[in-house]
Amino acid sequence: MLVTFLGTSSGVPTRSRNVSAVALRVPQRSELWLFDCGEGTQHQFLRSNLRLSQLSRIFITHMHGDHIFGLPGLLASLGLSGNSKGVELYGPEQLEKFLTGAFHNSCSRVGYSLRIHQVKEAAESNKVLYEDDDLLVRCTRLTHRVPAYAYRVDQKPKPGRFNLDLARSLSIPPGPIYAALKRGEQITLDDGRIINGRKFCGPERPGVSIVYCTDTIFSEAAVKLAKGADLLIHEATYSHKEAEMAIQRKHSTSTMAAQTAAEACVGTLVLTHLSPRYVKGNSVTPEDLLNEAKCIFPNTLLAKDFLDIEVKPISGKNRCN
């Protein structure tokens, strides 16, 4: 899976960072998922290699403007383009009312299927929010000034690699039979031989897992959701020196994000949702936040707009108990 950061600032955009939005390219299909949709997100799409027409699911963490003000415009533009196959939208209870008001008062309409799913029940009961043949999504409640949710996407294990040389050595004819063997099925050949497909496939290949966590102070629920994930995208609005302000405003510092990553045993941590006060030339810069986090969790990266990350399975997948 490929993650693209479309907005990495908190509160307001800056010259180099737009407000929150992260896109996920779903593997093996022409489909995009979006996490949060701050103001100007559709413009970020235009500046990227992403195709808005492929957008199929949007996950909103909470109702603060820097995470949702771009949503009505993006959905309206998608309707005007006329090439959407439909959008499934997930988020807090207030999301439907917000969009209904925006569309009604702007006399806007969407010419495609738009379904809104409330995530509160799934978060509180630890139910699966969404599942298909390849992917599974869960969520959990965070600790913020308004109801906020983190999301986890798990790619299901993939079948082991097919041993083509073994099949050829046994003179098994190619075609639909190979497909059945790849699925691990037992088949009977025309000459009467019974072949067990499991003998032709290697061990299952693990899928990858991604967690998107913003806005919150340090949260045990976030640690639980992120256990063993390959990639944790976590807000780092403040530096460690401003921990008191972070606690008051229910946001994370760089070290809180790193603590979450360390306790969850994730593969890689990416810091995002940085306060606009941290720019080059000021007393504290984004690189300072990165270094603070690395002292706790060395495998930490700093997000920037249009950064692409290809997510790969980490070694020691089950090292967290």
Contacts of 280 by beta carbon, 8 Å cutoff, 6+ apart: 286
The catalytic residue among 66, 154, 230, 305 is: 66
CA distance 27 to 178: 23
**154 is annotated as an active-site residue:** no
The pLDDT, as a whole number, for residue 321 is 52
Kindly give the residue spans of alpha helices, DSSP state H, lying in the chain: 41-46, 65-68, 71-81, 95-105, 120-125, 164-169, 176-182, 220-226, 243-249, 254-264, 286-296
The pLDDT, as a whole number, for residue 315 is 64
Computed over every residue of the chain, the mean pLDDT equals 93
DSSP 284: S
CA distance 235 to 5: 13
Q: What is the pLDDT of residues 199-250, one digit of tens each?
A: 888 887 889 999 999 999 999 999 999 999 999 999 999 999 999 999 999 9
* Cβ 237 vs Cβ 274: under 8 Å: yes
Sheet holding 209-213, edge to edge: 130-131, 135-141, 149-155, 209-213, 231-235, 268-272, 300-302
This prediction's pTM: 0.89
With bands split at pLDDT 50, 70 and 90, how would you rate the model's confidence at 13? very high
3-state secondary structure 55-99: EEEEECCCCCHHHHCCHHHHHHHHHHHCCCCCEEEEECCCHHHHH
CA distance 229 to 207: 10
Start-to-end CA span in the chain (Å): 25
* Cβ 37 vs Cβ 67: under 8 Å: yes
The pLDDT, as a whole number, for residue 317 is 47
The pLDDT, as a whole number, for residue 27 is 84
Residues forming beta bridges with residue 231, ordered by sequence position = 210, 268
Lowest-confidence pick of 26-40, 97-111, 240-254, 303-317: 303-317
Which two three-digit tokens encode residue 107? 């006399």
Q: What is the pLDDT of residues 61-96, one digit of tens each?
A: 999 999 999 999 999 999 888 789 999 999 999 999
User: Considering the chain, what percentage of its residues have pLDDT values greater than 90?
Assistant: 75
Q: Give the domains, in start order, of the chain with CATH numbers.
A: 2-158+205-310 (3.60.15.10), 164-200 (no CATH)
The pLDDT, as a whole number, for residue 185 is 85
Q: What is the pLDDT of residues 93-138, one digit of tens each?
A: 999 999 999 999 999 988 899 999 999 999 999 999 999 999 999 9
